[in-house]
């Protein structure tokens, strides 16, 4: 045990990361009577739309946490996919309403509120730089010198997971050198908010604008812009507008208020283990993959629900620690399937959008 660890403050589970995975885990453990602590290196919550579709499996989990109604009343269903090719509107594809469209920051806000109702607040400005464990518990050392101790530790700290690295768990796979997409959140006054607009061009280019319900924001995804030397242009309002003008050909629409701008590379990797003794990995910390199908956040939520069940059982009955083995046995094959499945979905989407009238539904079916 680390010398500086404060055993008096020890909780049952220390959760590193307050994304959708860490927050779901925290809410689910609290409802099972566990004492949790959630820490995050951020100074404040983000407001990025990121994972924007909640699948039925996630809603079932949120039902048990008492937040499904808040998710459905904040989000929207039945968004119509509007497809254009070389600037021409080709067709509309209504969706069946099985997913709820909702910004990731809104999901996180609802989960944080639920957690706060149970008396647990996310602790910000708390960055983990090392983790350790012994027979009695696990601990994390923060960059500010504090050491936090718990019976178990969950690394829900995203694709670059420090917890995973500190545990020496491999993250095998590939990361493409080239940016695949630029992404961001923008407003686009005058553009219909009943449709997920998807513009594709015969040269293989794409731009999509998806309305985030309850906001003025559209999530933008586009093929990156290149400059005269063929170099990728950094995402910005000016670059987003040039891409929009080229793909959408709607001169009256001006993009504005960029609240998030980023670039995305194809990254297909998974951890070779999701448990080491008293420490566990969940969500993007354990698996990253193409976004086709919108499965990343949803899979992290499933990981979290499984881990909460397993840890809840082990905490309730110390004699039942063998149940901890079932987490990795269940979720590692699910992660392997996820990587193969999303790679196949990505290939289907890339092939489909070359045909006028087809769009990202090719990766959802």
Ligand X SMILES: Cc1cc2nc3c(=O)[nH]c(=O)nc-3n(C[C@H](O)[C@H](O)[C@H](O)COP(=O)(O)OP(=O)(O)OC[C@H]3O[C@@H](n4cnc5c(N)ncnc54)[C@H](O)[C@@H]3O)c2cc1C
The residue among 85 and 196 lying less far from ligand X, judged by its C-beta, is 196
Token reading at 195: 């449709």
CB of 62 to ligand X, least distance (A): 13
Output 109 or 127, the one with its CB closest to ligand X. 127
- In the complex, least distance from residue 293 CB atom to ligand X, rounded to whole angstroms: 8
Q: Is the dihedral of CA 241, 247, 250, 251 positive or negative?
A: positive
Nearest to ligand X of 2, 90 (CB atom): 2
How many Å is the Cα radius of gyration of the chain? 21
3-state SS of 197-226 is EEEECCCCCEEEEEECCCCCEEEEEECCCE
DSSP string, 107-135: HHHHHHHHHHHTT---B-S--EEEEEE-S
Comparing CB distances to ligand X, the nearer of 235 and 300 is 300
- Alpha carbon distance 360, 272 (integer Å): 30
Tell the smallest beta-carbon distance from residue 6 to ligand X (Å). 18
> Shortest gap between Cβ of 207 and ligand X (angstroms)?
13
Using alpha carbons, select from 166, 165, 155 the residue that is nearest to residue 22. 155
Residue number with CB closer to ligand X (20 or 137)? 20
CB of 12 or CB of 157, closer to ligand X: 157
The rounded distance, in Å, linking the Cα atoms of 261 and 38 is 27
Residue placing its CB nearer to ligand X in the complex, 28 or 249: 28
Beta bridge partners of 132: 139
SS (H, E, C) 10-69: CEEEEEECCCHHHHHHHHHHHHCCCCEEEECCCCCCCCCCCCCEECHHHHHHHHHCCCHH
Binding region for ligand X (CB under 6 A): 16-22, 39-42, 50-53, 104, 127-128, 156-158, 162, 183, 221, 264, 283-284, 291, 294-298, 300
Q: How far is the CB of 18 from ligand X (least distance, A)?
A: 5
* Closest approach of ligand X to the CB of residue 249, in Å: 24
The two most distant CA atoms of the chain are separated, in Å, by 68
Q: How does 347-356 read in b/e, with b if 16+ C-beta sit within 10 Å?
A: ebbbebbeee
Residue closer to ligand X (CB basis): 45 or 356: 45
Residue 115 makes CB contacts below 8 A (sequence gap 6+) with 23, 26, 27, 30, 38, 121, 122
> Alpha-carbon distance 174 to 151, whole Å?
34
Nearer to ligand X (CB atom), residue 263 or residue 352: 263
Nearest distance, CB of residue 321 and ligand X, angstroms: 25
Min separation Cβ 127 and ligand X, Å: 4
Query: Smallest distance from the beta carbon of 280 to ligand X, in angstroms?
Result: 13
Q: Is 105 helix (H, G, I), strand (E, B) or coil?
A: helix
């Amino acid at each position: 045990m680390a010398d500086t660890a404060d055993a008096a403050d020890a909780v049952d589970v220390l959760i590193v990361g307050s994304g959708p995975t860490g927050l779901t885990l925290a809410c689910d453990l609290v409802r099972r009577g566990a004492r949790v602590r959630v820490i995050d290196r951020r100074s404040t919550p983000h407001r990025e739309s990121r994972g924007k579709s909640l699948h039925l499996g996630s809603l079932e989990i949120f039902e048990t946490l008492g937040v499904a109604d808040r998710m459905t009343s904040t989000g929207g269903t039945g968004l119509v996919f509007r497809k254009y090719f070389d600037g021409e509107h080709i067709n509309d594809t209504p969706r069946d309403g099985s997913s709820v469209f909702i910004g990731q920051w809104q999901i996180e806000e609802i989960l944080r509120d639920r957690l706060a109702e149970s008396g647990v607040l996310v602790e910000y400005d708390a960055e983990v730089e090392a983790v350790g464990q012994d027979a009695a518990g696990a601990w994390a050392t923060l960059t500010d010198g504090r050491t936090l101790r718990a019976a178990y530790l969950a690394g829900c700290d995203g694709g670059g997971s420090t917890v995973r690295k500190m545990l020496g768990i491999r993250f095998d796979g590939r990361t493409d050198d080239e940016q695949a997409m630029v992404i961001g959140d923008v407003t686009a006054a005058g553009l219909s908010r009943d449709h997920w607009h998807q513009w594709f061009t015969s040269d293989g280019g794409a731009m999509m604008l998806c309305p985030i319900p309850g906001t003025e924001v559209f999530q933008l995804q586009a093929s990156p812009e290149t400059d005269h030397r063929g170099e990728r242009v950094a995402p910005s309002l000016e670059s987003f507008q040039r891409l929009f003008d080229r793909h959408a050909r709607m001169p009256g629409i001006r993009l504005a208020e960029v609240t998030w701008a980023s670039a995305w590379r194809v990254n297909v990797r998974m951890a070779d283990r999701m448990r080491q003794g008293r420490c566990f990995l969940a969500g993007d910390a354990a698996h990253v993959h193409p976004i086709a199908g919108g499965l990343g956040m949803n899979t992290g939520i499933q990981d979290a629900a499984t881990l909460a069940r397993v840890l809840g059982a082990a905490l309730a009955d110390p004699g039942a620690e063998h149940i901890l083995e079932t987490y990795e046995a269940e979720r590692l094959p699910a992660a392997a399937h996820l990587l193969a499945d999303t790679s196949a979905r990505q290939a289907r989407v890339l092939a489909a959008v070359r045909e006028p009238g087809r769009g990202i539904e090719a990766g959802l079916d």
